[in-house]
Structure 1
């Protein structure tokens, strides 16, 4: 049964698609979204970039032609830490401002939306000046999107992180030492062992409070953020010379410097995290200059960017990159307990938290001008 209302309400199809054998359910969905498509002509391509969801492209013309529909099946238990209503709202806001694809409908365990033409960015392209300046400019445009009139917005960081921490505590049976029992070892990172007190709930909780105290004193504006800008979420269209961001599961209002610091952390990769790939100070400053020019222009301000402004934002970003590593460290601990996807989340958690503790003292010591 379908339901649709006026205004911003999205079409909802009351359908549960089988994760193991999705084709039949997807064809039923497409019979409503694309009734002129003949079932025998519909081709499907599974994309494997995601580590929490299944993403399937459906098309009758060539994949890169207009009209292709993306069907995303939510990962198991992801509703625990992803606000699906908020995700739909972010889709609609970003599409309305020309920054994101159109969302077509939701169904019981997923959503359908427009295919963004181009290719998923790879790690090497991330370091090319012509590409990273496009990414910086696109983020500047998104950050300039204003909330609806009269709406006050709060950064989602602390609420979300507190929620993650509560889930971590509950999933370890409520005991304070539950995390220490996890076999979060990573011989390559020279980091924590399964008995490390650094993985205890008490330590993580105290660490979050320390972060909150320090970062709450940093005057980073609250803006509309993507919050998860890794390479697989950036689509590069070589022909048009553009980049677009996809996947808005964590999109929300948040600290400007978090979104940027989070993106810089993603230079280290996902499958085999390597922080030697973290962008150099020179690359960051060039990136931040392109970002500030775009952000100012999109916000209707004088476009001139000073060295002092770049330096101030650089320091803010260093500090908030700590919050990004801590955030995704908690997330990965949860994924290691709930996700059915074949990915070494424990190793990922260890890598993110190791780098957090490695950089904390240095970045806390940086002084804003």
Structure 2
């Protein structure tokens, strides 16, 4: 249901600034908005870092046609997670590579983006045997993007930074309950163990949940959106993140609740990784598939710490209606419950152990 812009965007900086930017965007697109207060504004659900809206207005040519754009209002306090100016530069650079939407305008507390005329995937779509291979191929393409800046792993530095932020924000009770004083040792252990062998580094999305993947219905072309957390990282980490996201459904009455029985089984993970590696045009060896699969499984541990710390910090700084603290508790719980099977030996982890640990 559409409601007036002024009612929906209240509390976000200068209303005049937002209206001026929308008017300028409309003009650039060849339209004229006669009454900015009568724009159609539709909240889009599922975002947990920002608030996102679809905004419509009649095209200049009339005929009942509507121009659609996407407005993103930056979440409060999220600057602790990433540098917004760097994120916007990433957005523009990815757009220049022909990936994702175009940046149409900026205002103090948000921006206007091109509206992608495609459907946002659902939680079930991630497991669809026809859609999943398309995602795997698109991930490989995304990881191959040449982005500015040093091509170095950002994961460990970010984890340590977030741990420091969490300790500074949390109450002594939360520090104790979430075991934050022990996480320095865990991060050091993971970095040492996971970096012992060669690992491919690529430009990773780092948040490839279903809401950040769109598909054009007719062509079935996949578009990856929302790059707030994107950076260079081991590609195994990004694959691990995607698999972990299959436990989530952010469009239920309890969007924070995770169901790890939905974590993909061994054959499903193998199939995804095989397609991911095959998208280069050469069939991968069984050994290469198994090596990447093993690395991915271990990187799920780093992923649980990453989003556990994110949830804990968000519970103190973000006002979006989401039970961040309970989400964090589940991610930390999954870390501790799966760590023995995944890191119990120096060699390869038994696949039976891996599968059992996620059920």
TM bucket, shorter chain: 0.7 to 0.9
**Residue in structure 1 matched with residue 311 of structure 2 by the alignment:** 332
3-state SS in 2 of match to 1:100: coil
Q: 1:60 aligns with which of 57, 61, 71?
A: 57
Q: How does 1:9-28 map to 2 (within 5 A)?
A: 18-19=10-11, 26-28=18-20
The answer to whether the 8 A contact 1:258-1:321 is kept is yes
Q: For residues 252 and 195 of structure 1, what CA distance do their matches in structure 2 show?
A: 31
Q: How many residues align?
A: 324
3-state SS in 1 of match to 2:264: coil
Q: Deviations over 1:215-242 (max 9, x none)?
A: 1214222110100001111112221212
TM-score, scaled to structure 1: 0.82
**Residue in structure 2 matched with residue 165 of structure 1 by the alignment:** 163
**CA displacement at 1:39 relative to structure 2:** 3.8
**Residue in structure 1 matched with residue 216 of structure 2 by the alignment:** 237
- Relative to 1, partners in 2 of residues 1:89 and 1:359: Cα closer, same or farther, differing over 3 Å? same
Q: For residues 10 and 46 of structure 2, what CA distance do their matches in structure 1 show?
A: 20
| Runs (5+) with no aligned partner, structure 1 | 1-16, 183-193, 298-302
**Residue in structure 2 matched with residue 38 of structure 1 by the alignment:** 33
Q: Does residue 137 of structure 1 match 2:116?
A: no
- Relative to 1, partners in 2 of residues 1:308 and 1:22: Cα closer, same or farther, differing over 3 Å? farther
More moved, 102-111 vs 329-338: 102-111
- Relative to 1, partners in 2 of residues 1:97 and 1:243: Cα closer, same or farther, differing over 3 Å? same
Q: For residues 34 and 260 of structure 2, what CA distance do their matches in structure 1 show?
A: 47
- Relative to 1, partners in 2 of residues 1:88 and 1:195: Cα closer, same or farther, differing over 3 Å? closer
3-state SS in 2 of match to 1:113: strand
- Relative to 1, partners in 2 of residues 1:92 and 1:117: Cα closer, same or farther, differing over 3 Å? same
Q: For residues 130 and 295 of structure 2, what CA distance do their matches in structure 1 show?
A: 24
The answer to whether the 8 A contact 2:13-2:109 is kept is no
Q: For residues 266 and 32 of structure 2, what CA distance do their matches in structure 1 show?
A: 51
- Relative to 1, partners in 2 of residues 1:366 and 1:242: Cα closer, same or farther, differing over 3 Å? farther
TM-score, scaled to structure 2: 0.84
Q: For residues 67 and 273 of structure 1, what CA distance do their matches in structure 2 show?
A: 37
- Relative to 1, partners in 2 of residues 1:240 and 1:337: Cα closer, same or farther, differing over 3 Å? same
The answer to whether the 8 A contact 2:237-2:300 is kept is yes
Cα RMSD, aligned residues only: 2.3
- Relative to 1, partners in 2 of residues 1:110 and 1:218: Cα closer, same or farther, differing over 3 Å? farther
**CA displacement at 1:70 relative to structure 2:** 1.1
Q: How does 1:217-256 map to 2 (within 5 A)?
A: 217-256=196-235
Q: How does 1:103-118 map to 2 (within 5 A)?
A: 103-118=103-118
- Relative to 1, partners in 2 of residues 1:152 and 1:54: Cα closer, same or farther, differing over 3 Å? closer
Q: For residues 46 and 34 of structure 2, what CA distance do their matches in structure 1 show?
A: 26
Q: Deviations over 1:5-35 (max 9, x none)?
A: xxxxxxxxxxxx6446997654322111112
